[in-house]
Amino acid sequence: MSRKIPFALVDVFTSRPFGGNQLAVFTDAAALSASEMQELAHEMNFSESTFVMTAEYPRAARRVRIFAPRREIQMAGHPTVGTTWVLASRGEIALESANVNATLQLGIGPVTVTIESTGGKPDFVWMAHREPEFGAKRSDRGRVAKALGIAAAEIRDDLPMQIVSTGNPFIFVPLRALDALAKCAPNEASLAALFKTGERSPLIYMFVVNESGEFAARSRMFAPQDGVPEDPATGSAAAPFGAYAAAYGLIKPQPSLSFLIQQGVEMGRPSEIRVEVVRKDSGAFAIRIGGRCAIVGEGAIFL
């Protein structure tokens, strides 16, 4: 006999339905195998789907596994924020005050989330990130530009193309203007050719910053190797971008600063991610990302 697997559909990093980044949250995944989770994520075909089960850590509210259409991911931003929103909406994370901290068990270990609520309903969710790790820089603007379908001159030369990670590595590519951002195209073969054969390549994140007035950014992220040609909102990139922006003087946390990233505009799924960067006494950065969500449906899939 087929099994009936319940799920909720939630749009993440948006305050209105049918914007932001889509997420399927399978709310009772204890009996599913990893291969079944992968099959369901492939069937949903969103950037990621999440699978909720009892936590193994005593202080964690739930364990959450995250799958892209082609592979399991150890951490990601929009799945964590969206799953937290669903759990809080269902009363599985009790909203006993206007600000509630909770812990979710992800593949990378325990992750702290904070739910801001009004009238016992979630209003905003924050996700704390690990300290950033800065990796290799690239100087081959021509190769990167060709892989993206733009001219080398459209990539800024006053900022580095560099890998930064708070759990997932991204190569950050600074562009000069929004029209260059709009021209970028996700081509799996071209992007794979930027890295060594067999190497697990970092995901590529292009951005344009607004430095006149309040600092803000517009971005796009391509992950065709994961079955995601383009992602409408990437929380796991927004956090290391905050560190990148602070490290290269685009923002000056004194000691803290928050700013907005818009993503998904070119896809017709506009998203808004809030990034908070705090400079610790040690000089390191504490970063969290957050946003609103809209639950747009629920149902069951037969397996």
Helix spans in the chain (H):
34-44, 77-89, 141-148, 178-183, 188-192, 235-247
Would you give per-residue pLDDT tens digits along the chain (303 residues)? Answer: 689 999 999 999 999 999 999 999 999 999 999 999 999 999 999 999 999 999 999 899 999 999 999 999 999 999 999 999 999 999 999 999 999 999 999 999 999 999 999 999 999 999 999 999 999 999 999 999 999 999 999 999 999 999 999 999 999 999 999 999 999 998 888 898 898 876 677 899 999 999 788 999 999 999 998 889 999 999 999 999 999 999 999 999 989 999 999 999 999 999 999 999 999 888 889 999 999 999 999 999 999
Cβ neighbourhood burial of 282 (10 Å; 0-12, 13-18, 19+): exposed
Full set of structural domains in the chain with CATH:
4-130+292-302 (3.10.310.10), 133-287 (3.10.310.10)
Q: What are phi and psi of 185, to 5 degrees?
A: -135, 135
Q: What is the pLDDT of residue 50?
A: 98
Q: What is the pLDDT of residue 202?
A: 87
Please, are residues 169 and 163 in contact by the beta-carbon 8 Å criterion?
A: yes
Q: What is the pLDDT of residue 1?
A: 65
